[in-house]
Every structure is written in C-alpha cells, then in structure tokens.
A and B are shown apart, each in its own frame.
Chain A
C-alpha cells in the first residue's frame, strides 16, 4: 500500500466504527429474536459479484463497492438504520463506510477482518445458487422475462412433471417442457412406436419404430436438453401403481387415450393434491382445462360418467389432424409452466375449446359440483368406478 492509500485508511478508521465478526453475529442474532420493530441493522456486502457467489453472510444484501454511491440509497433508503458493511478483509468496507458517512448515513459500521475472518471463526455463510454458463446461455430468453427471471428458471429446473402417455399430446408437451428446462420429466407409456404414430407423435421417428415410446421419448429429450432427467415407466397406469407413481411429481399432464385411466388419474390426483392438465382431441377439435384439486372442478365434476363407446371413438377409428394434438399438447405444456411458476391465470374452472377448421378458440365455464362423488362435500373416493368394464374398445372390422 502506498502512502496515499495508508492516509485514506487512517482517515477512514477515524470516521468509521469497526465491529468484530463475533460482535456482528451477536447483533444479528439479537435482531432475529426481536420483533419487527427492532430491525435496525442492515448488513451490506461490498465485494465483487464473483466473491459474493462463492459465499456470503446470510441476510446480507449485495451492493458492490464499484456501485456504492449509485445504488446504496435505493438499497438502504432509511438512513437511520445501522448499516454494517463487510468485504473480504476489512479494508474496502472501511472506505465504503467513509463514503456512506459523506452521504449522510450517521453511523456506518465496518466489520474488521471481513468475510475471511467471519469464515475462519466458523460463523455461518451461504452460497447462492448459480447456473452454469451453458445454462445461462440456454435459458437466457426465459430469464429476460420479468415473470420468469433466474429464480423462475431455477423453479423450472427443480420441477417434476409426469406425462401420462408419450403419444399425440404427450410428445409436444414433453418436447417443449424439456426445452423449457423442466428438470425432471416422468413418462409412462407401455406402447411401442408404430408408423401410424409419426403423423403427429413428433418425439419419435422412423428409426424408432418398434421401440418403447417412453425410451424413444427419452432419447429425443436428452438430445435436446441434457439438463432434463427423464424417468420412464414402461407400464400401464392402474390402481396398483398410480398413487406410487404420481407421488413424486408437481403436475401431471393427461395425454391418455381412454376413459378409465382418466378417472383413475382423477381420483389419485385428488388424494395426492396434484393438479392435472387435461387435454383431448378429435379430428379438428380439441379441448383443455386444468383440474386443480379442491380449487376448480375435477374430472368427475365435468363427466360423472363416460359416454358409450360409439360416442367416443379413438383416433384410429375417427382420425385426427396431426397438428391438433400438437396444439393442444403445447397448450398443456403452457398451462403446466404457468402452474409451476405461479404466474398468469391457469385454466382452472375453464374449458378452452379449439376448432381448427373455424380457426376459433372459445371457453366454457366449469364449476365444482358440490355433490361430486370424488371432490364434493360427501366425497367417497374409495369406491368410485373407473368404468374399465364399460369402456372396452369396440371391435371394428
């Protein structure tokens, strides 16, 4: 240190009181115990971002020394607070304290020995979560959106979504959720890829014909985004496994192809309190809604009984325009992201319908049925039929 800097330090020491890490820790602990009135101390870390990322004192706010004059009044608008500053060794914080005094903060404190001595004394610190550089690039367009940001992206990375079916609806939904960085995708599908699937089930391709759909899905997803962990269940969802399988997930996307599974899923999701994003398609039309347990209606509120087979033909019988499940599946992914991030208005209590030929979206209002046997006042989830006996696929020539 040159003579001029030593002089600056001498002046700063005269102006700015110093506290040891132990004393800072004690003062913070006392404040923690005190009522909301006694929150007088504000802890400010004046180091560079890279130092902050390696670890900082819990509860501290970050105002790097380089931006101190510009940012401190917004960070600590109430100048009557006791501002305790710290840096790595106790030098920068002294100088910062001097600046604060000049700016009208009556009693800034500098922590002697800095973060280094804090850590050496065995005092607690936290390391903020950071993304890798690759992730920062990959998700940059998400993080630029105020409603998402870095915190939102972390939420997506921490989320787990289960897709029932990796077919027409599940393919686009899974693909886009993977692109979005949803950290865990569970896929349950016992089917193998068939050529007739490729008109719409875009997770799969010609080389995968004959392969299990769940595994084909995993291959495609892992190639798109290595951040995503895909858990496959080559199985059919039934009463012996539904509770165990859905338990690990935050949201379930219903891309099933039959009624009994929808009823089964409905009841299990009510028990587990997990929202189900429902979608279905037929030829040129599709519908979707979000079943949020005990908030909006459940599937049984909407359809207490399934239609007879002739009124609910499958895609193999009636056909479907390939792009239709693409649209509905993608809307399911969108609703899922809204639920995971807690933003916007998910389609709870609203059935969105799409008519591709007319180019029309419309909405029907749904209500929870107070007499619903699954989610109503006198619900009895344990003995509700799933209609598996009634819903056998009709045999056609």
Chain B
C-alpha cells in the first residue's frame, strides 16, 4: 500500500486525514482507488477526464510529469504527494 499525503485544502475530502493508504501498481490505479473511496476528492482534483493542471503529484519527492506521468509505478512503501498551488494572504 502506498502512502498518499494530501495538502491541507484536500484533507476535508478524505475525512480530514493528512495521509491515507492506497493500493495500486501505478499512479492511475492509486488515484482510482482513492476516488472510489473518496468521491469528493475526485470532484476536487479530477472532475474532467484528465488530472487538473493546478495539481502536482510527486512520487517519492519527484514530480511525476518528469517521470512517467500517470503511468509512474508506485511501490508498496512509496510516498505519493498531492499538492495544489497555495496563495495565502489577507
């Protein structure tokens, strides 16, 4: 099971946890597992067919755009991070 860490704005969609375990051999499968359990998360980050462009995903601290994208393999003890942009202020 991979360890998925979520940025603060996404945590409400998974019941408030900072990290959740997910199964799957690659990123597509891991996301599919997450979306099945947490449909609100899918609404947030992948409402359309492809992953929204404001979300960055890192597997073991590397941006998956520079690995194999959604085909990037995810091993049992790997860490997947979902990170949207933050602006803050006021």
CB-CB under 8 A for A257 and B87, given A362-B61, A367-B63: yes
Task: Please name all residues of chain B whose beta carbon is closer than 8 Å to the beta carbon of A369 when the two chains form the complex.
Answer: 65
The total number of A-B Cβ pairs within 8 Å is 96
How would residues 55 to 77 of chain B score, 1 for a CB under 8 Å from any chain A CB and 0 otherwise? Answer: 11010011101100000000000
Contact indicator A365/B63 (Cβ below 8 Å) = yes
Task: Please name all residues of chain A whose beta carbon is closer than 8 Å to the beta carbon of B84 when the two chains form the complex.
Answer: 307, 311-312
Contact indicator A257/B90 (Cβ below 8 Å) = yes
Task: Please name all residues of chain A whose beta carbon is closer than 8 Å to the beta carbon of B44 when the two chains form the complex.
Answer: 311
Contact indicator A282/B8 (Cβ below 8 Å) = yes
A359 to chain B, nearest CB (A): 13
Count contacts on A: residues with CB < 8 A to the other chain.
42
How would residues 304 to 333 of chain A score, 1 for a CB under 8 Å from any chain B CB and 0 otherwise? Answer: 111110011111101010000100000000
Q: How far is the CA of A358 from the CA of B18 in the complex (A)?
A: 10
Contact indicator A168/B53 (Cβ below 8 Å) = no
B80 to chain A, nearest CB (A): 12
CB-CB under 8 A for A312 and B9, given A306-B54, A320-B88: yes
Contact indicator B87/A312 (Cβ below 8 Å) = yes
Q: A256-305: which residues lie under 8 A (CB-CB) from chain B? A: 256-259, 262, 280-285, 287, 302-305
A304's closest neighbor in chain B, by CB? B53
Contact indicator B89/A315 (Cβ below 8 Å) = yes
Contact indicator B56/A302 (Cβ below 8 Å) = yes
Contact indicator B54/A258 (Cβ below 8 Å) = no
Q: A343-370: which residues lie under 8 A (CB-CB) from chain B? A: 353, 358, 362-367, 369
Contact indicator B89/A314 (Cβ below 8 Å) = yes
Q: A142-180: which residues lie under 8 A (CB-CB) from chain B? A: 165, 167-169
CB-CB under 8 A for A303 and B89, given A311-B84, A366-B63: no
Contact indicator B61/A303 (Cβ below 8 Å) = no
Q: How far is the CA of A302 from the CA of B61 in the complex (A)?
A: 14
Return the contact of B8 from the options A168, A283, A302, A363 (Cβ within 8 A). A283
Contact indicator B63/A287 (Cβ below 8 Å) = no
Contact indicator B89/A282 (Cβ below 8 Å) = no
Count contacts on B: residues with CB < 8 A to the other chain.
26
A277 to chain B, nearest CB (A): 15
Task: Please name all residues of chain B whose beta carbon is closer than 8 Å to the beta carbon of A367 when the two chains form the complex.
Answer: 63, 65-66
Q: How far is the CA of A364 from the CA of B65 in the complex (A)?
A: 13
A259's closest neighbor in chain B, by CB? B87
Contact indicator B86/A312 (Cβ below 8 Å) = yes
A276 to chain B, nearest CB (A): 15
Asked whether any CB of chain A lies closer than 8 Å to the CB of B27, the reply is: no
B55's closest neighbor in chain A, by CB? A307
Q: Which of A284, A308, A311 counts the most B-chain CB atoms under 10 A from its CB?
A: A311
Asked whether any CB of chain A lies closer than 8 Å to the CB of B36, the reply is: no
B46 to chain A, nearest CB (A): 12
Contact indicator A314/B87 (Cβ below 8 Å) = yes
Q: Which of B53, B62, B63, B66 counts the most A-chain CB atoms under 10 A from its CB?
A: B63
Contact indicator A282/B88 (Cβ below 8 Å) = yes
Contact indicator A168/B87 (Cβ below 8 Å) = no
CB-CB under 8 A for A365 and B8, given A257-B87, A304-B53, A314-B90: no
Q: How far is the CA of A306 from the CA of B83 in the complex (A)?
A: 12
A324 to chain B, nearest CB (A): 9
Task: Please name all residues of chain A whose beta carbon is closer than 8 Å to the beta carbon of B86 when the two chains form the complex.
Answer: 280-282, 287, 312
B36 to chain A, nearest CB (A): 21
Asked whether any CB of chain A lies closer than 8 Å to the CB of B81, the reply is: yes
B58's closest neighbor in chain A, by CB? A364
| A-B contact list, 10 entries, CB within 8 Å | A167-B89, A169-B88, A284-B8, A306-B54, A307-B85, A312-B9, A312-B84, A320-B88, A367-B65, A369-B65
* B residues apposed to A, CB below 8 Å: 7-10, 18, 44, 52-56, 58, 61-63, 65-66, 81, 83-90
